[in-house]
Amino acid sequence: MTTPDTTDRGDAEQLSQIVSRQNAQLKALNEANLLLAEERLVSSVLQRVVDISRELSGARYAALGMLDETGQLKAFLTSGIDERARASIGELPSGKGLLGAMLERTEPLRIDKMSDHPKSEGFPPGHPDMTSFLGVPIRYKGRAVGSLYLTDKDGGSPFDQDDEEIVRLFSNQAAVAIQNALLNEQIQVLAVETERTRISREMHDGLAQVLGYINTKAQAVEQFMTNKDLDAAKDHLKEMSETARQAYREVREGILALRTQVGPDRSLSDALTEFISEFRYHLGSSTKVKQTIPDNMNLNPLQEVQILRIVQESLTNTRKHAQAATVSVVISQQNEGLLVEVSDDGRGFNPMAVKREEWPHLGLQTMQERAEAVGGTFEVESARGKGTKVRVFIPNPTSVRSRRDDS
């Protein structure tokens, strides 16, 4: 016989189970959001989305279909299907059957047996058998971005309302993460193109000045030759030759800078490592280069472009002016941000004694402007005979917000 106390205990246990399950779902969603925040490349974000959706729902298989701006399927990623099975399936789906139906829906779809659904068209040869189905659209500001496809829940039971709800909530997070990754990629492309234009303009202006200088010297040499002043002509020819060699080196460095860029498929770490490796040739065999560069620097695209250029310009300054035996590039993650240090043991200079008209020539003003343009700080430590150290600090966004809150 069931007593009121027994009923109350049963209700309490059921309520406790519901609360525990909801807490577990919220924890899983929070962890999923943190995982998504770690990724910035669009391809990495998409793969992470499909992997996390499979884990959250307990599905054996998961897929993510992405739409382009015209509403056509542009990408299809899977999770739970190994490479051999994926290869045996053949071409990617074209947006028909249940897949196409989901791309047109605005609400989730749960099916206990896929073959019974009127939109089902079966599977191609080599495709694993699938029974239960949960489809969830991914939408951003009312616009269809893609859809999640989850099949065969662990244990053989069909997907339930709880599965649908947690994947639906996650799809909202996924939509924002995907959009952020796409925007980051667009910003990066724009930043790189802007920087390419700037470098090209600098090369053009520099060459124009050199050619004008050489033309003036050539006219002077011609006049000295007419006047039989061979010594003066030789001196001017030496100056012309040195100017031409310097221009040649700067053009080669400019081409290297144009070729070495960050982008969606190349991290700042990779770009810096490649640049430093090739720049060793310009420094010469007598100069040793040391480097410590982390794989992940947690910078936005604009910051990456400016840090790359600051390091490039610092090394160019070292080649032109330092006469150093050792050059060091060290990038380290501090508690409140990223610290970039480029140092050498060369002849150094007195920063306070640099004339304003010489300041841009040394590139210091440009580097300072680059650092400040992305919220950073710029410092130079140097003394005659004691080398030079360029230090750039880029604060974390959280550190900036904290300082603003305290002020």
pLDDT of 228 reads 83
Asked if residues 54 and 195 have their Cβ atoms less than 8 Å apart, the reply is: no
Q: Where do the domains of the chain lie, and which CATH numbers do they carry?
A: 4-182 (3.30.450.40), 267-407 (3.30.565.10)
pLDDT > 90 fraction of the chain, expressed in percent and rounded? 13
pLDDT of 378 reads 94
Structure tokens at 34: 């943190």
Asked if residues 109 and 133 have their Cβ atoms less than 8 Å apart, the reply is: yes
pLDDT of 394 reads 92
Q: Give 396's Cβ-side CA count (13 Å radius).
A: 11
Q: What is the mean pLDDT of residues 345-351?
A: 87
Q: What does the pLDDT look like over 38-60, one tens digit per residue?
A: 556 677 788 888 888 888 888 99
- At 261 the three-state DSSP class reads coil
Asked if residues 162 and 25 have their Cβ atoms less than 8 Å apart, the reply is: yes
pLDDT of 400 reads 38
At residue 333, does pLDDT exceed 80?
Answer: yes
pLDDT of 198 reads 67
Q: Which position has the higher pLDDT, 5 or 320?
A: 320
Determine which helix (DSSP H) or strand (DSSP E) holds 64, and give its type and residue range.
Answer: strand 59-67
Q: What does the pLDDT look like over 250-301, one tens digit per residue?
A: 666 666 565 666 666 678 898 899 888 888 877 777 888 899 999 888 887 7
